[in-house]
Amino acid sequence: MKIGIAIGDIRGTAPLAEVVGQVSTAADAGFTTAWAAQAFGMDALTTLAVAGGSVPGIGLGTAVVPTPQRHPLVLASHALTVQAATDNRLTLGIGAGIATMVDGMFGLPHDRPVHRMREYLSALDPLLHGETVSYQGETTRAVGAVTVPGAQPPTVLLAAMGPAMLRLAGELTDGTVTWMTGPNTLCDHIVPTVSAAARTAGRSAPRVVAGLPVCVTNDESAVRARIAAAFGLAGQVPEYRAVLDREGVAGPQDVAIVGDEGTVLREVQRLADAGVTEFMAAPFGTSQEQQRTIDLLAGSQP
């Protein structure tokens, strides 16, 4: 199992120069990928274009960009521009978005998310491959093409937790990316469902990227309390509540990887045993706690 590092807002608000420094640190430590989430601050794809232009070598990924507020033509243009700016190192992670945010913040429809995503991908995939589309679906319409010299189509991952979205991920994309999903759910639900769908569709074995907060500490209970405060919203929305309930836990603090060095390494190994292909570690805590975590994970890589 490979290990990547989350950068940017998910680790706390930071200036762009500091986020670029996080990518540089990850590259120097030998991590596979620097992952940026689209939250309420910096644009994830723009951040990766800036950072990737300054830091060579390391893979770059979004985990994830919500699609409802981005037309396929717009997202294809943005993603391919990042490819051109970073020597084609982008993994494009996308998702349907949290329904309450899609509606409450943007005033956009969020019904039938799997159907909407199927139509969205039907337009996005050919656009990423430089093809001209004239797609007329029930929820998505796209007519045109995107041309970015030097850009290759990125790997696409679909955020998926429910069975239908996981099947779609296996059928139409290169795999899935999860957040706040524990090892039992990954082993018994996520990995087998997306893998079976990929086999049925005649695709290669899917990538399964699992994201979790992680903190190496001698005060586990205090850190879990801070994680509960920082990520408590995830335990309330239906999308995350479903996988937390499947795992049998109360909230994000219970699936986060927290403890001393030995404990953290054992929990990371559980992800590998579950069939995860890349752990997206989101270092949590003070700068000292995050650095201790990064040092341990860097040293644990093959």
pLDDT, tens digit, 9 for 90 and up, residues 103-133: 788 888 889 999 999 999 999 999 999 999 9
Q: What is the chain's mean pLDDT, rounded?
A: 96
- What domains does the chain contain, in order, with CATH numbers? 177-302 (3.20.20.30)
Confidence of residue 297 (pLDDT cuts 50, 70, 90): very high
Q: What is the pLDDT of residue 40?
A: 84
Q: How large is the average pLDDT for residues 67-81?
A: 97
Q: Does an H or E element contain 101, and which?
A: helix 99-104
Question: Measured between alpha carbons, how far is residue 103 from residues 64, 109, 144, 249, 301 in Å?
Answer: 18, 6, 28, 28, 41
**Alpha-carbon separation of residue 209 from 21, 55, 60, 108 (angstroms):** 23, 22, 13, 28
Give the model's pLDDT for residue 143: 98
Please, what is the Cα angle at 81 between 213 and 198, to 5 degrees? 60
| Token pair recorded at residue 111 | 């019904």
Residue whose entry in the numeric block shows the structure tokens 């998702």: 95
Question: What pLDDT score was predicted for residue 35?
Answer: 98
Per residue in 3-60, pLDDT (tens digit) is 999 999 999 899 999 999 999 999 999 999 999 999 888 999 999 999 999 999 999 9
Determine if the pTM surpasses 0.95. yes
Identity of residue 15: P
Spatial contact of 47 and 16, defined as CB atoms under 8 Å apart: yes
Cα distance between residue 191 and residue 175, in whole Å: 10
